[in-house]
Amino acid sequence: MKVAIISDTHVPDRARKLPEWLFDELEGCELILHAGDITTVETFKELEKIAPVKAVQGNCDSYKINDLPISRELTLAGTEIAITHGHKVRGEKVNGLQYMFPDADIIIFGHTHDAFHKEFAGQDIINPGSPTSRKRMKYYSAAIAEIDNGLKDIRFIKKYQ
């Protein structure tokens, strides 16, 4: 299953709109997993034009989308996936995430805007970064994953614009 992983889209507070390259790169994805800070309902609807969206609430999300859960656990293609924004995790992020989601095969988080993928103790921990707000990164980013009884492949999309 081809899945897009994104976070921290921050439209319109840090970008006027989602970048065109994001739509091109996400073409053909069967599902979008969004790790929070969507910021507006309009951005959510725009992403839904590409593929169904499973999202969680971030610390900057508007009151109109605050009905999203703080975290979400789902099974996709035989793979247990947990998603959270990460702003509620105290202390060292990876340890905190593993404590929160001990049974997940893949843990997806956002908040830091730092693209990241590491395998720790049998769990893939992924932060896709942000397609609109780099913070400390040299590039904007998102990720495309192939999931089938675990993480088969992950590709980070990096744009230096």
For residue 24, pLDDT beyond 80: yes
The 3-state secondary structure of 132-158, one letter per residue: CCCCCCCCEEEEEEEECCCEEEEEEEE
For residue 91, pLDDT beyond 70: no
2-159 CATH pick, 3.90.1150.10, 3.40.640.10, 3.40.718.10, 3.60.21.10: 3.60.21.10
* Cα gap 124→25, rounded to integer Å: 22
For residue 126, pLDDT beyond 90: yes
- What pLDDT, in 10s, does the model give residues 25-60? 999 999 999 999 998 889 999 999 999 999 999 988
**At 120, which amino acid appears?**
F
Average model confidence (pLDDT) across the chain: 92
- CB–CB of 56/87 below 8 Å? no
Q: Which pLDDT band, with edges at 50, 70 and 90, does 155 fall under?
A: very high
For residue 92, pLDDT beyond 80: no
Domain ranges of the chain: 2-159
